[in-house]
């Protein structure tokens, strides 16, 4: 016996619409935070430099920075087990140093406290002092760890990325006018406007959205699926040796030997890499007969983010070994990581990554808004699920930017010598974010949008003024001195504040309009058909 169309089993597109809507909703609030903070991370060195205004250095060659760093370490830690030296470049102008002390031979003794990171002037090797801050590294770490202890934050981020990838695929299958709607953007049309905004932000950067989601999953695939490595290698160290050519570290002999000059080693490595630059130098057992100097190639010279390494003798400078040419799997993994992080990108491509990341953030945000708008009926009180989704939308879309602005404002307003200052900055971000979200829960929904967006706008607009009042690198002076990083940062904050202010103004306009009278439906509503027709 035949069935009516309304009672027929849903087809592929109807099923995909259901998957697309619910997966996008359940993971959407976390995905919005991941997209927004991940997009900011494309400028994490610049954010860190802005958050440490005391450091104003000019770039030097890698050889000069390495020489001055070694000279400083010979003074402060000549008998350490390892020196980790992160060489500066055009974006990170200070030399960063980490020292690993030798373990105490007494097994009952307390381990020595970990030495804090040092930052040096690469031209002189003198230690530079600056306020303690997490800088742009905080946004980078949060976007894939979600401020949750390892490894649970990464697992949650991975689950959300899987939901995102599924939502992208199901959205493409569901959307029957994907290229036509790309050129359609209608304003002030309620649900239709949110759908148009969602379509445009999704289609305009669809290859980027798919690439960034898939490569984000691949970078942590060994954590999500460790069984192939466990089945083929007896331990992780054996795997790393086979793939990356890492050799076991030799123990110190106790026989002193002068450390060879490192500048010639950098020249040899650069020649072997075809002009590639070193990013990191690790000195093992300095001033010992077994000393080694390992140079790691910068990922900024190539698409593969995992560059090669060369090991030299720290006594006579002989080349001892080098990482093997990467196999197909290792090469693919490194390229995926490079595509995701964009470390190879120059200024133009980096800004392109940033703008496409903002499009991804808008895609997630408009999708969350669309879910609630589609399910609200004029004149009818929304049920609990819709009210909860509306409040979570405010908390993610409007309150998170306010928290990020509070993080930056705290960097300027907290005393520079405050203990654990970097942790306090991070705490202020989360207290602001969650505090505003809680406040929004007790406000009428339309006023909650207006108020939280206005607070976020004021916070971002205040940043250039607060920066000028608390440092000597305000907009006018920075412009006169050609300090373009601080000039660009102030302009970016003003633009962000203006965009959020526009959103607050639109929300206020909408809240002042009288509610429309409900229209009588001309035919029964079929939710599955509506979901497909909307796409």
- pLDDT, tens digit, 9 for 90 and up, residues 181-239: 655 556 555 566 667 667 778 888 889 999 999 999 998 888 888 888 888 888 777 88
Residue 308 near residue 297 (C-beta atoms within 8 A) = yes
pLDDT at 262 over 50: yes
d(CA 122, CA 12): 61
Say if residue 96 is exposed, middle or buried (CB neighbours under 10 Å; 0-12, 13-18, 19+): middle
Write the pLDDT tens digit of every residue in 33-53: 999 999 999 999 999 999 999
Q: Place 520 in a pLDDT band, splitting at 50, 70 and 90.
A: very low
CB 342 within 8 A of CB 215: no
Q: What is the pTM of this model?
A: 0.88
CA angle 327, 241, 249 (to 5 degrees): 145
Distance CA 512, CA 203 (A): 33
Residue 272 belongs to some domain of the structure: yes
Query: Are 178 and 16 contacting, i.e. CB atoms less than 8 angstroms apart?
Result: no
Alpha-carbon span 431 to 52, nearest angstrom: 23
Per residue in 373-387, pLDDT (tens digit) is 887 776 666 778 888
Residue 95 located in a structural domain: yes
Mean of pLDDT values over 132-156: 94
Lowest mean per-residue pLDDT among 76-80, 102-106, 296-300, 398-402: 102-106
Query: Which pLDDT score, from 0 to 100, does residue 513 have?
Result: 60
Torsion, Cα 510 515 516 521, to 10 degrees, reads 110
8 A C-beta contact, residue 205 and residue 360: yes
In a domain, 368, yes or no: no
Residue 202: the pLDDT is 80
Q: Give how far Cα 108 sits from Cα of 103, 104, 105, 111, Å.
A: 12, 9, 9, 9
Integer Cα distance of 213 and 217 in angstroms: 6
Q: Say if residues 461 and 408 touch (Cβ distance below 8 Å).
A: no
| Structural domain containing residue 285 | 62-130+246-323
Whether 294 is in a domain gets the answer: yes
| Upper half-sphere CA count for residue 182 (Cβ side, 13 Å) | 10
What is the SS3 assignment for 280?
A: strand
CA neighbor of 429 nearest in space, from 154, 134, 149:
134
Looking at per-residue pLDDT, the higher value among 324 and 9 belongs to 324
Q: Which of 2, 36, 7, 21 is nearest to 360 (CA)?
A: 36
pLDDT in tens, 439-453: 999 999 889 999 999
The per-residue pLDDT for 177 is 66
- Residue 497 · residue 457 · CB < 8 Å: yes
**Looking at the domain assignment, is residue 291 inside a domain?**
yes
Domain for residue 270, yes or no? yes
Q: Measured between alpha carbons, how far is 224 from 184 in angstroms, rounded to an integer?
A: 40
User: What's the CA gap between 313 and 523, in Å, rounded?
Assistant: 82
CB–CB of 93/59 below 8 Å? yes
- Per the rule left: phi > 0, alpha: psi between -120 and 50, beta: everything else, 275 is left
Report if residue 328 sits inside a domain: no
Q: What angle do CA 165, 30, 367 make, to 5 degrees?
A: 65
Tokens of 398: 């409007």
Split into its structural domains, the chain has a count of: 1
In a domain, 89, yes or no: yes
Query: How confident is residue 466, by pLDDT bands cut at 50, 70 and 90?
Result: very high
Please provide residue 439's backbone torsions phi and psi, each rounded to the nearest 5 degrees: -65, -40
Q: Average pLDDT in the 288-310 region?
A: 89
CB 33 within 8 A of CB 400: yes
Region 302-329 average pLDDT: 88
CB 160 within 8 A of CB 31: yes
Angle between helices 12-40 and 400-413 (to 10 degrees): 10
């Amino acid at each position: 016996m035949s069935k009516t169309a309304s009672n027929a089993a849903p087809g592929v597109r109807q099923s995909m619409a259901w998957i697309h809507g619910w997966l996008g909703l359940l993971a959407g609030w976390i995905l919005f935070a991941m997209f927004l903070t991940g997009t900011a991370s494309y400028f994490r060195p610049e954010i860190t430099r802005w958050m440490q205004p005391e450091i104003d250095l000019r770039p030097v060659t890698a050889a000069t920075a390495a020489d001055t760093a070694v000279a400083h370490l010979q003074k402060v830690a000549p008998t350490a087990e390892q020196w980790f030296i992160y060489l500066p470049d055009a974006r990170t102008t200070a030399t960063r140093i980490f020292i690993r002390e030798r373990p105490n031979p007494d097994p009952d003794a307390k381990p020595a406290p970990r030495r804090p990171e040092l930052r040096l002037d690469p031209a002189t090797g003198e230690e530079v002092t600056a306020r303690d801050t997490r800088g742009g590294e905080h946004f980078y770490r949060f976007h894939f760890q979600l401020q949750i202890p390892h490894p649970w934050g990464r697992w949650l981020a991975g689950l959300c990325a899987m939901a995102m990838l599924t939502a992208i695929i199901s959205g493409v299958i569901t959307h029957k006018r994907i290229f036509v709607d790309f050129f359609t953007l209608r304003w002030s049309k309620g649900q239709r406007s949110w759908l148009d905004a969602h379509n445009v932000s999704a289609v305009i950067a669809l290859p980027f959205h798919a690439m960034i989601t898939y490569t984000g999953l691949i970078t942590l695939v060994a954590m999500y699926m460790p069984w192939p490595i466990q089945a083929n290698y007896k331990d992780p160290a054996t795997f790393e040796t086979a793939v990356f050519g890492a050799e076991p570290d030799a123990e110190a002999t106790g026989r002193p030997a002068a450390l060879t000059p490192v500048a010639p080693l950098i020249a040899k490595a650069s020649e072997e890499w075809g002009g590639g630059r070193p990013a990191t130098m690790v000195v093992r057992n300095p001033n010992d007969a077994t000393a080694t100097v390992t140079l790691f190639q910068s990922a900024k010279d190539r698409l593969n983010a995992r560059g090669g390494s060369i090991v030299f003798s720290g006594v006579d400078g002989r080349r001892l070994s080098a990482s093997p040419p990467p196999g197909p799997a290792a090469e693919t993994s490194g390229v995926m990581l490079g595509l995701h992080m964009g470390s190879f990108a120059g200024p133009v491509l980096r800004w392109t990554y940033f703008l496409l990341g903002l499009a991804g953030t808008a895609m997630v945000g408009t999708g969350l808004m669309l879910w609630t708008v589609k399910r609200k009926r004029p004149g009818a009180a929304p049920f609990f699920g819709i009210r909860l989704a509306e409040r979570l939308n405010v908390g993610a879309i409007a309150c998170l930017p306010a928290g990020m602005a509070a993080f930056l404002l705290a960097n300027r307003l907290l005393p520079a010598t405050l203990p654990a200052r970097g942790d306090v900055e991070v705490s202020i971000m989360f207290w602001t974010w969650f505090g505003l979200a809680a406040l929004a829960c007790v406000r009428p929904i339309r006023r909650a949008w207006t108020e939280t967006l206005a607070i976020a706008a004021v916070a971002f607009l205040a940043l250039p003024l607060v920066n000028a009042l608390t440092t000597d690198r305000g907009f006018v002076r920075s412009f006169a001195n050609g300090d373009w990083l601080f000039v660009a940062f102030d302009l970016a904050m003003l633009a962000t504040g203006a965009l959020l202010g526009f959103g607050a103004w639109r929300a206020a306009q909408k809240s002042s309009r009288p509610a429309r009278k409900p229209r009588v439906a001309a035919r029964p509503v079929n939710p599955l058909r509506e979901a497909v027709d909307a796409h």
